Amino acid sequence: QAGQTIEYKGRHVVSKLFEAFSSDPEMLMPRDFVYVYKSQKTETDKKRVICDYISGMSDAYAGKIYSRLFIPGSGTAFDLL
């Protein structure tokens, strides 16, 4: 049961991050990924860049970004990642 709960939570975090980055990639992704994103010709290829960015995150970093984006009071504009 605990393993299923953790797996569900992980899928939720990744899905929400994908939605956020897809909604405004130029604001939320680092410049190097934005450059690659903007150079893609198709929407599928653009989505792949977002997937690649998220897949390169450690669990801790993904959790920190998720918290900053979706949990009120977590992090500020002045926090370093």
- Write down the pLDDT at residue 73: 81
Q: Determine the Cα–Cα distance for residues 34 and 63; give it in Å rounded to an integer.
A: 21
Scanning the structure block, which residue is given the tokens 């290829």?
45
**pLDDT at site 52:** 97
pLDDT bucket at 37, cuts 50 / 70 / 90: very high
CB within 8 A of 26, min separation 6: which ones?
34, 37, 38
- Dihedral angle, C-alpha 46, 52, 20, 6, nearest 10 °: 150
Q: Write down the pTM of the prediction.
A: 0.86
